[in-house]
Every structure is written in structure tokens, then in C-alpha cells.
Amino acid sequence: MKIAVDAMGGDYAPANNIGGVKLALESLPSIDRLFLTGDKPAIEAELERQQVPTGKLEIVHTTEVVGMDESPAKAVRRKKDSSISVAVGLVKEGASDAVVSAGNTGAAVAAATLKLRNLPGVERAGIASALPSEHGVCNVIDVGANVDAKPRHLLQYAIMGAVYSRVIFGVENPKVGLMSVGSEEAKGNEFTRGVFSMLRGSGLNFVGNIEGHDLFESGIDVVVCDGFTGNVVLKSCEATANILMKWLKAELKKTPLRMAGAWIARNAFRTLKKRGSYETIGGSPLLGTNGTTIIAHGSSSPLAMMNAIRVAAESIEHRVNPHIEEEIAKLASPEKPTPAQEEAVHA
Amino acid sequence: MKIAVDAMGGDYAPANNIGGVKLALESLPSIDRLFLTGDKPAIEAELERQQVPTGKLEIVHTTEVVGMDESPAKAVRRKKDSSISVAVGLVKEGASDAVVSAGNTGAAVAAATLKLRNLPGVERAGIASALPSEHGVCNVIDVGANVDAKPRHLLQYAIMGAVYSRVIFGVENPKVGLMSVGSEEAKGNEFTRGVFSMLRGSGLNFVGNIEGHDLFESGIDVVVCDGFTGNVVLKSCEATANILMKWLKAELKKTPLRMAGAWIARNAFRTLKKRGSYETIGGSPLLGTNGTTIIAHGSSSPLAMMNAIRVAAESIEHRVNPHIEEEIAKLASPEKPTPAQEEAVHA
């Protein structure tokens, strides 16, 4: 398997990107080749510094980088030789099976959408982000690829999110919820009520509206929402977790006694940190394009980068895209019953 | 000052409502009279059980209650003798200065909107919810009164939120942010870009787009958003805090050693819990109606109820509504410069 890594994207590039590559080489035997796109001298220096074995690596030199704050569409159109564009290009020409980037999310989405195009029948690609939950993970889709979504886009997100939940997380019949402001069908706004009726007739295991309260403890596997809502939810959850941990740390440092207690119980904090961290979950897939694109957190650590590469590898191994194509095709030809409808007929 | 308390609304009514009334009588000397609306025998039994002094209390018997899951508009129209409707009615007829409810939020909003009507010039009322932040509080408006908002509603929310921040929290020139998915002006969706240009010309201290990341640490005083987004944000933040504390507790209970450490540092956890709790912040005002309506959390404790009553008292004392009327009037007659414009002229 071959994966292209945008070596220059992210807040701590190329150091953490190369750190992730090193970890991936050590722990993911299915990888045959990693393309590293970016400034060759900088990448080589970092490989040298971190003593990364280069046997499976291929550096593809690029002269440009899309900054974290640049306008994505413009940057992708203008900077033809940016590390993200070239990495996506490797997927397009078939040299690489997938691309991983921790850079400007909008640029990664724009490059993938423009170069790879969507899978047959898919109208808009969406980013699925996995939140840690009581029972495993809860995939929220879309978290920002499509901020002016139409209800039918969310129907497709539900289908793609359910496929991802099934083939990557092994959930047999994923529970799909619609992010809203109350559980009853009438709750929500005009937009979500339109999505609700589509999801009810979809053949998916649709459990109805859910609320922010249900993200972590209700056993929902897939939460669908427009990209604006999903992005705000994701960042608000992250901000809450960060501030709570910050305040807890400050409180624990206030007296020597508290510090002693915290030191004694330190393993509890370590485990909690690991459980709540995006580092261990890995990157978020952009679902719906004709290629595998994994978006890592902008401030990814080496571990987070490695896990994003792992998610890319798993997406290919478990054939996420062929499965999505199959399910989306059923939507286009409704005479073909969905698994749930078939079951109902045979029951 | 006279305040009407919906004694039957909320998950733990009437016990916690009466508990809050008792605390309010003890700690808020400005209160002359508290009306308690609801089932008289049930309220009397609870007053007796909690040994509440009844000198300043007046029970207004009602025969109906709006359930937490009922359709708000229907319930308010049909249940004329519900505890929330009657409580709002007391404000309408001038017997009470404000109303406090922990019951069905939609019903409280519907009752207040229908009976009290909006302040002159206000198109839609909005709920302002105060999140604890690094520098004090961050008021998010609207968190659910108006889920199909228009951009101009958000302009009014910004004005009302800034007034509230100024007169209740003493922030001189509140920083107003627009909830979006990136800080640059072009970020967001069609809706937020429309709001952005209105806010820029408003004379408010508008700092631009903010993201979920900015809620707690950026020093923003007022965050404006449509009621759908605000509700989802609020509940997602609450859910994140709850699950983190649950996971931390579980980790700390895993071994005797960790338990010992946690016990030694216990005051840190107590302070943190208090800091992050809605209990101490009090209720959320419904801003924009011709009356003072404070919405308490559905699962309010006695302390939370007391603080909601306190917020009602402060809103009246500090004349929130007259201030809102004044600022909204400036919007209607733009020839009258806003304070910021005046300052610019004199600078």
C-alpha cells in the first residue's frame, strides 16, 4: 500500500509529520511506500535528525505550502506546486492509494474535491470526525467540508457515515442520529425537519433527532449535521475539554497537599488524557471523493500523524470507497431494496 | 420587588423550586414578594416539609402543568391554567416584575412571547446563556428561542447581549463575536456572512468571527448565533464537561492508591465543579420581551433556582429592558449616533 503524506501541512510541520512517518514505518507493516511531499531539503534534514529509515520513503519536492489561514479555494487554484496539491495529485494519477494532511483543512478538501472528483452519485464530500464516547466512538459528519449544505447532502452523509462506522469500527447496524435541538420529530429548524423525513425513509438505522447531550452517552454511532454545525460542535467540545483540564490543573497546583494528591493519582489523569485525545483516534476521513483523503488535526503530534496514516491504511484495506459507492447506488435506484427493507420484507 | 416562580416546572419540581425560594428569601433582601404558581396542596406540603417562612409568599393555584416534552406552542395555547402561563400572566397584569421557570423552555418562551409581546423594535426574543470563561463569563445568544433566525435577528441579539453584559456583568464595552467556522471574514456560511456585514456597521465592539475554540479563552463577552447553533453548542459543551468528569471519576476510583490521591486533592475537584456549574451562574434571561423572564436549567438544584431568582432581581434592579429599548431605538433611527460612533467623531 502506498500513502502520500503532506510533509509541510500543520502547525508543527515538518517535524511532527516526519515523526508520524517514523512511527508509521515502525508499526504499520502493510505500508509499502510513503511519499513525502514538500520542501526536499527541509524533509531530508528532518529525516536525518530523527534517524528515519528511508527505504520505503520517496520525497516529492514541492516549492509551495498553503498556509493555515489562506483562502482554500484560491490557494489550491494558484499554488499548483503546493505540498497538499501535489500529494492529492499522486492519488489522482494512481501512484498513491491515499493522502494524509494536517494542513489547511479547506485546502485539503478543495484539492481533493477538484482533483479527485466525487464518487458516482455523491453530491458533496463530507468530513467524518470520530469523537470518543462511552461505547467507543461517535462519528460526526460533516464537520466542515460543506457549510451551506442541502438536506439531501445530509442523507448522503448518513449513508457514508454508516458505511465508515461499519467497515472501520465494526458496528454492524450503526445507529444514525440527526443533530437537532430536541428529540421529538417536530423539534429542530426547517432544514433539519427536511433531513428528518429523508432519513426516516432511507432504510438506515435512523434513531431520530439527537441533542448535544447525546453525543457521548447515548450509544449513537453516526451523527449527521451540516458542516457549519458540525464544525462548531467539534470545536466547542474540544474547547470545553481543554478549559476543564486547564482549570483542573490550576486547582491541583494551588496547594502542596493537592499537588501531592494529584501526583499519587497521576495515572488516572494520564489515562483520561489518552481517552479524550484526538491523538489516539487518528485523522478524519473526507468521505465521498474518488480517493482516500485523511485530514489530521492542525496541531498533530507525531502519534496523531501516525494514527492518521493508520486510518488511511485501514480505509483502503477495508475498501471504504467501494462500499460507499454500493450504498449510494442503492439510493439512486430505489427499486433495489436496502438491507433493512429486505429484512422487513422477509420478517 | 415581586417575582413569580413557576413552582411546577423542572425535573425536580416542586421540591427544588421551593428549595430555591427558601434560599432566595434568606439571601435576597430586595425581594418583597414571591408568587408561587402551581398545585396549591403540593406547594404547601413542600413549604411545610422544608419549613419555609411564608410571610413574603403568595401561592397562586393552577390546575395544569406543561410537561418537559410537550409541544410548547400547543401547550401554551391549550393549557390556559398551566403554572408557567399563570406565572407569565402575573407579569403581564403588573402584579409581578419578573417570572422564573425551570420548566419546558419552549413553553416559557412561547408564553412570554405571546403574553408579554416584544419590546418596541425587537423582532425576536432570544435566550442569553452565560458560559463560565477564563475572564468571567461569555454570554451566548440565542441558545434556542429562535431556531430559524434571520441575519437581522442576530444583529438585535448582539445589541441585547451587549446590554446584558454591560449592565449585569459590568463589562464596559463588551466584545461581540459571531459564531462561525474560522476567524477570517470570508469564513462561515451564507447566513453568517450576512450577519457579519450587519455587525460591522452596528457601532458595537464587534471583533469578527469566532470559533468554538474561542468560547472560553479569548475574552469574548457576547457570542451571537442562531438559536439552533447556540442550543447545540450549549448542550455539546455541557455534555463534554459531564463525560469528562464522569471518566475522571471512574479513573480515580480504579485503584485504592488513586482514590487516596483524589481524596487528598478533593478540594480541587470541588472548586472546579463549582466553577463550571450552571448552578452558580443562575438562569438564562429571555431578552427582548416586554417583561423579565428567566429560564433556569431543567434539572435545577435549589441553589440553581435561587440564582435564577437572583438573576431576575438583578435584571430588574439594573433595568435591563429600558436599556435594551434605548439601544434598539438607536438602530431604528440611525441618525442618532451610537456611543462608539460618537466617540469616533470626538476622537
Give me the residue label for grid cell 401547550.
B75
Q: Give chain A positions within 8 Å (CB) of B148.
A: 189-190
Cβ-Cβ contacts under 8 Å between A and B: the total is 205
Q: Give chain B positions within 8 Å (CB) of A140.
A: none
How far away is chain B from the Cα of A133, in angstroms, using its nearest Cα? Answer: 8
| Residues ≥6 apart with Cβ < 8 Å to A85 | A62, A66, A76, A79, A111, A115
What does the pLDDT profile of chain A (347 residues) look like in tens digits? Answer: 999 999 999 999 999 999 999 999 999 999 999 999 999 999 999 999 999 999 999 999 999 989 887 888 888 889 999 999 999 999 999 999 999 999 999 999 999 999 999 999 999 999 999 999 988 899 999 999 999 999 999 999 999 999 999 999 999 999 999 999 988 888 899 999 999 999 998 999 999 999 998 999 999 999 999 999 999 999 999 999 999 999 999 999 999 999 999 999 999 998 888 877 767 777 999 999 999 999 999 889 999 999 999 999 999 999 999 999 999 998 876 544 455 544 444 44
Considering only CB atoms, B275 lies closest to which of A235, A247, A252, namely: A247
| Beta pairing class for A57-61 and A136-141 | unpaired
Query: E strands along chain A, which residues?
Result: 2-6, 33-38, 57-61, 98-101, 126-133, 136-141, 175-179, 205-210, 222-224, 284-287, 292-295
Q: Give chain B positions within 8 Å (CB) of A244.
A: 240-241, 244-245, 272, 276
Q: What is the DSSP letter of B297?
A: P
Which of B228, B271, B278, B297 best probes binding to A when mutated, by most A CB atoms within 10 angstroms? B228
Q: How far apart are CA B146 and CA A189, in angstroms?
A: 9
Q: Does residue B261 sit in helix, strand or coil? A: helix
Question: ipTM of the assembly?
Answer: 0.90
Q: Which amino acid is at A337?
A: P
Considering only CB atoms, B244 lies closest to which of A188, A234, A241, namely: A241
Q: Which helix (H) or strand (E) holds B260?
A: helix B256-264
Cβ <8 Å between A258 and B240: no
**Sign of the alpha-carbon torsion through B88, B89, B90, B94:** positive
Of B23 and B271, the structure prediction assigns the larger pLDDT to B23
How far away is chain A from the Cα of B189, in angstroms, using its nearest Cα? Answer: 6
Cβ <8 Å between B235 and A254: no
Cβ <8 Å between A212 and B238: yes
Q: Give chain A positions within 8 Å (CB) of B268.
A: 248, 251-252, 254, 258, 261-262
Cβ <8 Å between B258 and A268: yes
Considering only CB atoms, B252 lies closest to which of A216, A234, A265, namely: A265
Q: Give chain A positions within 8 Å (CB) of B252.
A: 265, 268
pTM above 0.95, yes or no: no
Cβ <8 Å between B147 and A188: yes
How far away is chain B from the Cα of A106, in angstroms, using its nearest Cα? Answer: 10
Q: How far apart are CA A166 and CA A208, in angstroms?
A: 19
Which residue from B minimizes the CA distance to A272?
B248
The C-alpha cell that represents B247 in the structure block: 471518566
How far away is chain B from the Cα of A149, in angstroms, using its nearest Cα? Answer: 9
| Beta-carbon-side half-sphere exposure of residue A256 (alpha carbons within 13 Å) | 0
Cβ <8 Å between A188 and B213: no
How far away is chain B from the Cα of A12, in angstroms, using its nearest Cα? Answer: 19
Which of B192, B235, B249 best probes binding to A when mutated, by most A CB atoms within 10 angstroms? B235
